[in-house]
Chains A and B, each alone.
Chain A
């Protein structure tokens, strides 16, 4: 696991239909230390996905630089694991094979990579589902697989773009609690994107508020861990922090 540095990052899209340039990200700088859990929160269209896609290397950036462990990002790579909102599991692979995919690409032997996959599946309470295909799982289970598939490849940074936005509210709370538990166990560096302020505060060490492609503020979350919704729902500090972030995001 390594740290991530973003310096003066910007992105301008060219809209071929209108023939105009759209600047989605202006001059964003951000430093994420190794083992940190950072949430980027902001309203729809503020450039969250654009930032994440640039860090992942899916789209080129038009200004500034992105460094992972000091090395500039050029295209996608296994040092940055990604969890997608739409899960993006391979439908033709079983759950076990999906989780073993990263190690397989690294050339890990079959016995060893299946051991790794089983270990991570157990972490997400998915042992029973190992032999099933993604289409045979519920949305919540699919996203658990998505998370451990990225983790099993031991990336330096884990990038998550609204991963829990398409599951129901109860499942989402469970997944959030599980994610904090798994994070505590494995301590990956995480950048988690969401528009849900409470989710951001619940998960993060640090919440970065974004608006119209600019960083508004950076708020440290000093809530104790392990975190659970039962404990935090009526927690004064949690309410205060969420209130602050919400105000920040809304004021812009």
Chain B
């Protein structure tokens, strides 16, 4: 018996070594299996908890009708636009606050104050100002992304050892070049962490915003499904959220983190 299990285990190890994506799918197999068993046993009425097969079928038909690809695109573009502006504004602001004592004294309390208000708390007033449209959604995403980016950038800038600044100056670097050669790379691991947190919060804020003010997108799909009582589509939306985040994290963010902090020895492996 033990021999047999070991054999299966070594098989699994070899398999996942050859196709790493299997390793990331494997943990979900028991979850899906449990879900399937629960629905097959009819512990809950079907309309309350549909099974995996129905969700897959609903996925197929929504893709076929073109609704899902369009909504997915809307959500991703919104997140990308919001994240872009959040980063484009957040990094320079973080560097300014991190480097300049006076800017820090002036801006730090404001940053903490506005961070505390939270993204969704802005929705009521934003809807009055900008209506139910892309502007409102973008503002919320930028607002959500910018704080983790700014705060982590400040942290990163301030964690750069003074000897690195001094070394660069003694080698003839001007103030402007110091930004590019020392400050930015030195803060980069923290900036990536900030981006990672920001995108995570931004993604959630996006779905919440779409539920409240959206006319398309994954959040809207889920809320619309609730109106028509389609639990299948709600479940589908939830699964898509999880999978999308998984993809963004493991295909985009994690590789950036590996390429920066780890090779440079700034982050422990």
Contact = CB atoms under 8 A, between A and B. Distances in A.
Interface string B136-173: 00000000000000000000000001011011111111
Contacts of B264: 91-92, 133-135
B226 interface: no
Given A133-B265, A134-B265, A135-B264, A88 B171 contact: no
A233 to B, nearest CB: 33
A135 B167 contact: no
B263 A102 contact: no
B266 interface: yes
A84 interface: yes
Nearest to A134: B265
Contacts of A105: 168, 171-174, 177
Interface string A74-109: 011110111010101111100000000110011000
Contacts of A155: 170
A82 B167 contact: yes
Contacts of B186: 92
Given A56-B166, A88-B166, A77 B185 contact: no
B181 interface: yes
Given A105-B173, A133-B263, A76 B166 contact: yes
A106 B172 CA distance: 7
B224 to A, nearest CB: 47
A149 interface: yes
Contact of A78 (B166, B171, B185, B263): B171
A89 B264 CA distance: 11
Interface residues of B, number: 23
B169 to A, nearest CB: 4
Nearest to B264: A91
A5 B180 CA distance: 34
A82 B185 CA distance: 21
Contacts of A80: 170
Contacts of B185: 90, 92
B100 to A, nearest CB: 18
Contacts of A102: 171-172
A242 interface: no
Task: Describe A's contact surface by its main secondary structure.
Answer: loop
Contact of B172 (A78, A84, A88, A135): A78
Nearest to B263: A133
Contact of B170 (A81, A89, A92): A81
Given A105-B177, A133-B263, A84 B163 contact: yes
A84 B163 CA distance: 8
B83 interface: no
B260 interface: yes
B188 interface: yes
A82 B173 CA distance: 13
Nearest to B186: A92
Contacts of B171: 78, 81, 101-102, 105, 149-150, 153
Contacts of A84: 163, 166-167
A135 B170 contact: no
Contact of B263 (A75, A76, A101, A135): A135
Given A88-B164, A134-B265, A135-B263, A77 B182 contact: no
A101 B173 CA distance: 9
A101 B168 CA distance: 8
B172 A77 contact: yes
Nearest to B174: A105
A135 B170 CA distance: 22
Interface string A111-154: 00000000000000000000001111000000000000110010
Interface in B217-269: 260, 263-266
Contacts of B168: 90, 101, 105
Contact of A90 (B166, B177, B182): B182
Interface in A52-71: 56-58
A88 B167 contact: yes
Query: Which residue of B170, B174, B182 has the most chain A CB atoms within 10 A of its CB atom?
Result: B170
Contacts of B174: 105
Interface in B73-113: none
27 contacts: A56-B170, A57-B169, A75-B169, A76-B166, A76-B169, A77-B170, A78-B170, A80-B170, A81-B170, A82-B167, A82-B170, A84-B166, A84-B167, A86-B163, A88-B161, A88-B166, A90-B181, A90-B182, A91-B265, A92-B185, A101-B181, A105-B173, A134-B265, A135-B264, A135-B265, A150-B170, A153-B171
Given A76-B170, A92-B264, 10 more contacts: A56-B166, A76-B169, A80-B170, A86-B161, A88-B164, A90-B168, A90-B182, A105-B172, A105-B173, A133-B265
